Structure 1
Amino acid sequence: MVIETKKIRNFAIIAHIDHGKSTLADRLLELTNLKNSQKSLERILDSLALEQEKGITIKLNAVQLRYPPESPNPFIFNLIDTPGHVDFMYEVSRSLAACEGVILLVDASQGIQAQTLAYYEIAKQLQLKILPVINKIDLPTARPKEVQIQLQGLLGCQEKDTVLISAKTGQNVNLLLKKIITDIPPPQQEP
C-alpha cells in the first residue's frame, strides 16, 4: 500500500509530568482500534518495568495509528509519547526532531508548569506546529477558562485553537483527532 505524504502526521505529546500524556496516548490507541479498552487500563506505551512501577514515562515510545481506523485510505499518525520529567529532557528533544507538530498538553487544574515552558521552547525553536490541548476538564478542580487564557498568552493563539479534553473519560478526544489532521502539517518531503 502506497501512503501519500499529505496523509501522514508526525507528532509528539509534550507536557509537564502527570498532565496526562500517557493516558492521552492510550486513549488515541483505543480510538484507532490498536487497544481494547475492556482488556486493559494500563498505560500501553510505558512498557519498561520501572515505568509501570513508578507510573511515569522514562523512555520515548513511538506508535503508528490509522485514522479513521475503518477507512480504506486512512491518515497515518506517527505518535511519539514523551517523558514529562526534567531528567529525561534529552529524550524529548530527540523525539521532537522527528516531528512536524506537537500536542502541548496542559492540566486544567494546574495550568502551565515549568516543564510545559521548557518543552514549548524546544518545539518553538524547531518551528513545530503547536496544538494546545487542555486535559482533565472532568476534574472538580478544573479551571479550563483560566488555563485557556494562560495558553493564549504563551502561544498567541485564539480560544478556537485550543481543544478541551478528558483523556481519562475520552471526552472530546475525537475532536482532537480531527484537529491533528487539520492543524499539524504533513512531512515536507516524500518518504
Structure 2
Amino acid sequence: MTGLFSTLESATALDRPSTAVRDVVRRITAGVPGDLLRGDVAPGHPLHPALVAIPIGAWSCAPLFDFVFRKPETARQLIGVGLVAALPSALTGWADFAECDTQQRRVGLVHAAVNGTGIALMGLSYLGRRRGTRPAAVAASTVATALIGFGGTLGGHLAFAMGARVEGNRNRVPSAGSAFDPVLA
C-alpha cells in the first residue's frame, strides 16, 4: 500500500482538477457555512472523521444480514441509513478538502472519487432491493463495501500519515488538568 500512497501523493496530473474542485468548494463554504462544516466553530475539530462512522458502520453490517443472517430487508434498511448519513459525511469531507495542501488534495480527490463510486453503488443497491432485483443489488453493495473500505484507507492515510486538517495540533502541548500527567508527557 505504501507504493500506492506515494504514487497518489506525487500524481501531479491530479493538481489541476483538485485545485479546480478546491476553488469551487471554497466559494461554497466561505464564511459561517464552511466554519460549521469543518467543525471550526463547534466542536473545534474536524467533523468528517466522526460522521463517516455512521455510513461505514451501517454498510459494513449490511453484508452480515445478506450472507450470514439471511435478512435482506434489514440489509436494505442499513444501506438506507448509510445513504442518509453519507450526505453530511461528504459535505464535511469536501469542506476539509478545501483546506488541504497540494499533496493532500491529490489523495483526497481519489478518496472522494472512490467513496463517491461506492455511494452510487449503494444507491443502486438500495433501489434494486426495493424493485426486487436482489442478486444484482447484493452484488452492487458487496462491491460498494469494498470500495468504501479502500476509500476509508485513503482517508486514514490522509489524516494519520499526511496530517490533513491536524497539522495545527501536532505539536500542541496538552493542557493541565485531570487528563494531563506530566510524568507521561
* TM-score over 0.5 (shorter chain): no
Task: Give the structure with higher Rg (CA).
Answer: 2
The answer to which structure has the higher strand fraction is 1
Identify, as 1 or 2, the structure richer in helix: 2
Greater RCO, 1 or 2 (C-alpha within 8 Å, sep 6+): 1
